Each structure stands twice: as C-alpha cells, then as structure tokens.
C-alpha cells in the first residue's frame, strides 16, 4: 500500500479571476476555465482545481476565506486504494465518487480524497551547457510537479493527525520538532516531506503548496517574474534547514502561499526519523 504524492489540490476561491491570474503567472498550464472555476495540469500529471468558494459541492473549509478545501492523494494501484478505503472505513463514514475516489476527513477536520495516481515521469533538468554554448536561461519557469503541502494543524490535534497519516495512509515521519510539527513523506516518495503538519497554537488552515523547479536559476527567474507582476513575496529566497530545499514563497490569492523549491533532501526506509527537542531553525541562509 503506497501513497505516491499529492495528486491534486481543490481550492475554494473568493476571487477566481485573481486566482487564475496568479497561477498563470506562476507557470502552471491552464487546461480549462469557466464561470465556476479553472483547472491546471502540471507536467507530472498532478492537477490544481480552482473553484468558486460558493460552490455547494466543495467540502467545508477549515478556515474562512479562500483556501484549500480538499487534498487528493495519489496511490500506486487499485488494490492500495481498496486497502486504504478499508482502513479509513473502520472509524469513519467514507464515500466513493463516480471515478472510484475515496473521500474522508482527517482527525483535524481536513477533507481528503484518495485515488489511483496518474503519473507522468518528470525529472527537473538543471540547465546544462557544453563548449561554445553560453548560458541563456528562459525568462519564464514551468514547475514540473507539486512536491508538498503544508497545513496549520491545531496543537491539540497534531499527534492524532500525524498518527492518522502514518497508520491509515502509510506515511513515514522523516523529521519532527516537539510542539512544532511533523514532516512526513508518502510511502512511495523519497522527498523529505510531502506533508508538513505545522502547529502554531490552535491555528487551523492551509499554509502553502510547493512546486519544483530545476535549479537555483529557475527559482530566481520564477520569483523575479512574480515580483515583476506585482505579486507579494512572503520570504526572500533561501535554503531551508529541515529538508534542505531552496525556497521562495509568494502569497496566493486562492489561499495560503506557493513555494518554488529545488534540491530537497531525499530519504528511503533506511532513514530513522529525527525528532528535535528544539527547532533547528528556518534556513541555512536567506537573502536580505
């Protein structure tokens, strides 16, 4: 039984036009749009669905305003899907949609869905050049995949939520900070984390989703483009300590933030989770 990745995020958005403008500028390919929403399809096959927050078909939100309403996780095959369905069904009422996807809630209240992943292999290619080929980067970036999603989980629900993803969906804890949060990776992923449960008191909500770009140049080019379009950065570019990824975050009008990331630590089941008594800090370096 292996969850592979975040397959899709479904947002409930107050201002659809702003939401579309933002994700267009971010570099995601928009494949459809209308009065009720827009869909984006990443090169990896993962999708982003923007829907009007008034859409009665959306799961209820864990916070007010524009935010993620449902996280869809992709599993390796139909047998895994059934196994997870049985595990979830043992202590809550799950539903199945017409495509076979399972819908449930985690202990904190976030709506989640599980379905068979539709992966397209993508490998970010750092810009390479040979003899007599000067470096000349593109002026736009095209993120290849979604790497991780991060949520504010109330401190009182953190332990139960972490246990839920480990026991019901087979996530692996890679690193945690006592009283602050748990970094977890999908059982079928080597990323340092695909899910970070972040605890700031009883705060509840969506924090950010991260999109992978090839290298530091792409991260800078993407961020500079967003700044040029007037979108507000949440941070300066830097390199995290936990996960080691290069990062640059921007405020998303559809809810939370988005992160360009690159060069994250990778792990497999030989890794023993590290639990810090004290937070080792936000970044090795961050531009001023």
Contact residues for Fe ion (CB under 5 A)?
210, 259
Q: Which is nearer to Fe ion, 61 or 210 (CB)?
A: 210
Sign of CA dihedral 41, 45, 50, 51: positive
Give the three-class secondary structure for 218. Answer: helix
Residue 113 CA to residue 34 CA, distance in Å, equals 24
Instruction: Find the shortest distance in angstroms from Cβ 215 to Fe ion.
Output: 17
- Taking CB positions, which residue lies at the least distance from Fe ion? 210
Nearer to Fe ion, 87 or 200 (CB): 200
Cβ 232 to Fe ion shortest distance, Å: 17
* Least gap, CB of 196 to Fe ion (angstroms): 7
C-beta of 8 vs 262, nearer to Fe ion: 262
Pick 175 or 259: Cβ nearer Fe ion: 259
Q: At what angle do helices 155-169 and 78-89 cross, to 10 degrees?
A: 140
CB of 116 or CB of 183, closer to Fe ion: 183
Least distance between Fe ion and beta carbon 158 (Å): 18
For 30, residues 6+ apart whose C-beta sits below 8 A from its C-beta are 20, 23, 24, 38, 39, 40
> What's the Rg (C-alpha) of the chain?
18
Q: In angstroms, what is the minimal distance from the CB of 255 to Fe ion?
A: 15
* Chain mean position to CA 242: 16
Query: 47 or 258: whose CB is closer to Fe ion?
Result: 258
- Contact predicate 81/120, CB 8 Å: no
In the complex, the smallest distance separating the C-beta of residue 132 from Fe ion, rounded to whole angstroms, is 38
| 225 contacts 139 by C-beta, under 8 angstroms | yes
* Burial of residue 247 (number of CB atoms within 10 Å: 0-12, 13-18, 19+): buried
């Amino acid at each position: 039984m292996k969850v592979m990745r975040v397959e899709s995020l479904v947002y409930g958005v107050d201002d659809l036009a702003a939401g579309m403008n933002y994700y267009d500028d971010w570099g995601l390919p928009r494949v459809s749009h209308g009065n009720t929403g827009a869909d984006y399809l990443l090169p990896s096959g993962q999708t982003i669905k923007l829907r009007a927050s008034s859409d009665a078909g959306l799961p209820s939100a864990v916070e007010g305003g524009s935010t993620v309403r449902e996280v869809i996780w992709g599993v390796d095959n139909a047998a895994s899907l059934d196994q997870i369905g049985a595990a979830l069904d043992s202590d809550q009422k799950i539903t199945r949609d017409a495509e076979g996807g399972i819908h449930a809630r985690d202990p904190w209240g976030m709506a989640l869905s599980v379905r068979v992943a539709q992966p397209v292999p993508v490998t970010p290619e750092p810009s390479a050049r040979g003899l007599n080929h000067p470096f000349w980067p593109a002026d736009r970036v095209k993120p290849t995949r979604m790497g991780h999603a991060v949520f504010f989980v109330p401190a009182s629900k953190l332990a139960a939520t972490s246990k839920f993803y480990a026991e019901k969906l087979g996530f692996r804890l890679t690193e945690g900070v006592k009283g602050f949060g748990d970094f977890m990776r999908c059982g079928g992923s080597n990323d340092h984390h695909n899910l970070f449960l972040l605890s700031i008191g009883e705060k509840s909500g969506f924090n950010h989703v991260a999109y992978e770009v090839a290298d530091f140049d792409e991260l800078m080019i993407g961020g500079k483009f967003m700044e040029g379009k007037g979108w507000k950065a949440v941070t300066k570019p830097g390199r995290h300590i936990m996960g080691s990824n290069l990062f640059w975050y921007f405020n998303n009008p559809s809810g939370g933030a988005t992160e360009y990331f690159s060069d994250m630590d990778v792990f497999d089941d030989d890794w023993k989770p590290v639990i810090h008594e004290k937070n080792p800090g936000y970044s090795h370096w961050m531009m001023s």
